[in-house]
A and B are shown apart, each in its own frame.
Chain A
Amino acid sequence: MIHIQNIAKAFGEIHAVQDVSFDVARGELFGLIGPDGAGKTTLFKILVTLLLPDSGSATVAGRDVVQDFRALRQMVGYMPGRFSLYPDLSVEENLAFFATVFGTTIQENYELIRDIYVQLEPFKNRRAGALSGGMKQKLALCCALIHKPDVLFLDEPTTGVDAVSRKEFWEMLQSLKKHGLTILVSTPYMDEAGQCDRIALMQNGQILAIDTPTGVENRFAKPLFAVRATNIYRLIQDLRQAPFTITCYAFGEFLHLTTQDGVSTGTIDTYLTERHHKQLEIKPIRAGIEDSFMDLMQHA
């Protein structure tokens, strides 16, 4: 459904996207995971025909993003990272406006947005600018869907959104997927990656890895341990000094410790007990997406 081949785009000296290639299948929920400045937005703008690539080619729904841009604009839905609706129009007016621009009506494609729009309906006469963050996000999603696109592009829909609203948003995406929509979504939150069928990890304009979430986790090849003790601040400093340590980072209530091969919990326990750490807890763990991302970043 999306075919990207050797796409590159630079702004002066900044190489925003460097030689990126990947495909997204029909009906797939594909995540572009990476921090600010990874090149996610630039790639999105190229795919929705708002920016010309310097080199390479891409097709979306079989249409070339440069040659067939007019036809393509009818076929894609795009929710930019920054709130881009009309703050002085009401909820209903915004939706009607976007429907009209695409030559359709709210009624015609209501089925697709119904589940989301019913939550907005009590506020349909409120100005979009006066909505809460979560509501703005839902309205923007409705506006991106109202012309029944084949492919939906969501650029960081959950950035700056609280953990509860983020979860709700992903539930909406899962139900949209059931309508057969192909969805490309970007996010800086690693914990959202598991919701996608496949993900591309992106950093500094380059793809670090493309795989299923489980596949990305399985790429992590070094021994990994979760460690905690009463004094986390001293623990992190001691572990970073340890001869067997490769990296040591905070991960919630535990530290994640990557070590050289052949290191056991016993080795770590002895080292830390010698340094008088109390209530030690050390256990080998499987890597998560964030562990893999950090590992890949350091080898990029």
Chain B
Amino acid sequence: MRNAVTTNKLTKRFGDFVATDAITFTVAPGEIFGFLGANGAGKTTAMRMLCGLLKPTSGTATVAGFDVYTQSEQIKQVIGYMSQRFSLYDDLTPRENIRFYGGIYGLKRADLKAKANAIIEELELGSVADKLTGSLPLGWKQRLAFSVALIHEPKVVFLDEPTGGVDPITRRHFWDMIYAAAHRGTTIFVTTHYMDEAEYCDRVSIMVDGQIKALDTPGALKKQFGVDSMDGVFQILARGTSTK
């Protein structure tokens, strides 16, 4: 089966600054791929290129088989995206948010209604489905945002620090949803600052100063660096670069 994401020496320069420096990797369909790195390591730039929002300076990349240079509009149709900063409209109700995003992705009216009911039931949002989204606790919002990011059944979903500031139980419910989506075949591309969450990924890449310094399963990385946690791996690789 074709890879969900491929990059080959993907590079982005801003003036003299090399934000993303010749990164090469592939992500398999249905894989949970952890994309880690210190603040300023170049994760966001790389993700923006993969989402078709930023043209690379050089190198190649495909997402769901589409080329990031020439097929960025097709890419946007087959990916989902959510982050802590950008997710849902606070002034719409959960039901309206679902219909709005579903509509943008071209879902039919009848499908939309069924989809909205299914999401509201699955997330147990029945009591608040017609209240403003802004009034919901953060954890509920984030789980709803994730469901909305999956509404058009994307091939690949990009999650940028989806669990920041979320309480520990909701954080785990969120990962239950990630596992379930991956189990159905959706490819998950996720960033996080919680090192325990790095352990939940099938494979993890760690970026330092624009380059991928390590890429493997959590188990293999821990063995490679002789430590017993992903936090240990991260501290070894990223320390000394964060003060720049």
Chain A positions within 8 Å of B, measured between CB atoms, are 34-38, 119, 132-135, 159-168, 188-190, 203, 232-233, 236, 249-253, 290, 293-294, 297-298
B16 part of interface (Cβ distance < 8 Å): no
Could you say which of A34, A162, A232, A236 contacts B193, with CB atoms under 8 Å apart?
A162
* CB closest chain-A residue, reference B222: A253
In the complex, A46→B181 CA distance in Å? 43
Q: Contact at A253–B199, with CB atoms within 8 Å?
A: yes
The 10 sampled A-B contact pairs (Cβ below 8 Å) are: A35-B168, A36-B138, A133-B40, A161-B193, A162-B39, A162-B41, A163-B193, A188-B164, A203-B167, A250-B196
Give min CB distance, A175 to chain B, whole Å. 16
Give min CB distance, A125 to chain B, whole Å. 16
B226 part of interface (Cβ distance < 8 Å): no
B195 part of interface (Cβ distance < 8 Å): yes
Q: Contact at B39–A134, with CB atoms within 8 Å?
A: yes
Are A233 and B169 also in contact (CB < 8 A) when A164-B234, A164-B238, A168-B242 are? no
In the complex, A158→B169 CA distance in Å? 20
Give min CB distance, A285 to chain B, whole Å. 14
B contact residues around A163 at 8 Å (CB): 193, 195, 231, 234-235, 238
In the complex, A208→B169 CA distance in Å? 15
Q: Contact at A160–B193, with CB atoms within 8 Å?
A: yes
Chain B positions within 8 Å of A, measured between CB atoms, are 37-41, 137-139, 161, 164-170, 172, 175-176, 179, 183, 193-196, 199-200, 218-219, 229-231, 234-235, 238-239, 241-244
9 closest residue pairs by CB, A with B: A35-B167, A36-B165, A252-B196, A133-B39, A252-B199, A162-B38, A253-B199, A164-B238, A36-B138
In the complex, A236→B172 CA distance in Å? 11
Residue of B37, B41, B169 with most chain A CB atoms under a 10 A cut-off: B169
* CB closest chain-A residue, reference B32: A233
Q: Contact at A119–B243, with CB atoms within 8 Å?
A: yes
Q: Contact at B193–A249, with CB atoms within 8 Å?
A: no
| Extra contacts besides A37-B137, A167-B235, A293-B168 (14): CB < 8 Å | A133-B39, A159-B164, A161-B193, A162-B41, A163-B193, A163-B234, A164-B242, A168-B243, A188-B164, A189-B194, A252-B195, A252-B229, A253-B219, A253-B229
* CB closest chain-B residue, reference A119: B243
Q: Contact at A165–B38, with CB atoms within 8 Å?
A: yes
Could you say which of A34, A36, A249, A298 contacts B172, with CB atoms under 8 Å apart?
A249
Are A165 and B138 also in contact (CB < 8 A) when A160-B161, A203-B167 are? no
A contact residues around B37 at 8 Å (CB): 162
A contact residues around B199 at 8 Å (CB): 252-253
In the complex, A151→B232 CA distance in Å? 33
Q: Contact at A294–B164, with CB atoms within 8 Å?
A: no
B contact residues around A38 at 8 Å (CB): 167
Are A37 and B138 also in contact (CB < 8 A) when A161-B193, A162-B37, A163-B193 are? yes
In the complex, A135→B40 CA distance in Å? 11
Residue of B37, B167, B234, B235 with most chain A CB atoms under a 10 A cut-off: B167
Give min CB distance, B157 to chain A, whole Å. 17
B contact residues around A236 at 8 Å (CB): 176, 179
Are A164 and B40 also in contact (CB < 8 A) when A252-B229, A290-B168 are? no
In the complex, A132→B244 CA distance in Å? 7
In the complex, A249→B138 CA distance in Å? 20
Could you say which of B137, B168, B183 contacts A190, with CB atoms under 8 Å apart?
B168
* CB closest chain-B residue, reference A162: B38
B contact residues around A253 at 8 Å (CB): 199, 218-219, 229
Residue of A134, A236, A298 with most chain B CB atoms under a 10 A cut-off: A134
A contact residues around B179 at 8 Å (CB): 233, 236
Give min CB distance, A187 to chain B, whole Å. 10
* CB closest chain-B residue, reference A298: B169
A contact residues around B243 at 8 Å (CB): 119, 134-135, 168
Q: Contact at B169–A249, with CB atoms within 8 Å?
A: yes
* CB closest chain-B residue, reference A297: B169
A contact residues around B219 at 8 Å (CB): 253
Are A252 and B169 also in contact (CB < 8 A) when A133-B40, A163-B195, A165-B242 are? no
In the complex, A10→B187 CA distance in Å? 42
Give min CB distance, B47 to chain A, whole Å. 16
In the complex, A236→B179 CA distance in Å? 11
Residue of B172, B199, B230, B234 with most chain A CB atoms under a 10 A cut-off: B172
Give min CB distance, B127 to chain A, whole Å. 15
Q: Contact at A233–B183, with CB atoms within 8 Å?
A: yes
In the complex, A188→B192 CA distance in Å? 14
A contact residues around B172 at 8 Å (CB): 249-250
* CB closest chain-A residue, reference B231: A163
Could you say which of A160, A166, A249 contacts B164, with CB atoms under 8 Å apart?
A160
In the complex, A250→B199 CA distance in Å? 9
